[in-house]
C-alpha cells in the first residue's frame, strides 16, 4: 500500500482537486489519477515538444 504522511496525503488531494478544476488552453489537462498496489499514477495531457525548460533553452 502507498505510504504517505497525513500532510503529504492532504497536499496530494489538494493538488488533485486543483488540477481537476483547471481548464485553460495554456494549462496541461489533468485526466485522472489512481493508486495501483504501492504506486501513484497521475495522467496528464501530452505536451509537444516536451518540457518548458527545454523550450526556453531552444528559443
**29, 44 Cβ separation under 8 angstroms:** yes
pLDDT in tens, 2-13: 677 888 888 888
| C-alpha cell at position 54 | 527545454
pLDDT in tens, 17-29: 988 898 888 888 8
d(CA 39, CA 1) in angstroms, rounded, equals 8
d(CA 11, CA 17) in angstroms, rounded, equals 10
Q: Which residues contact 27 (CB under 8 A, 6 or more apart)?
A: none
What was the pLDDT predicted at 14? 92
Amino acid at each position: 500500500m502507498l505510504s504517505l504522511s497525513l500532510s503529504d496525503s492532504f497536499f496530494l488531494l489538494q493538488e488533485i482537486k486543483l488540477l481537476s478544476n483547471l481548464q485553460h488552453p495554456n494549462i496541461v489537462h489533468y485526466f485522472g489519477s489512481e493508486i495501483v498496489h504501492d504506486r501513484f499514477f497521475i495522467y496528464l495531457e501530452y505536451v509537444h515538444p516536451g518540457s518548458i525548460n527545454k523550450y526556453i533553452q531552444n528559443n
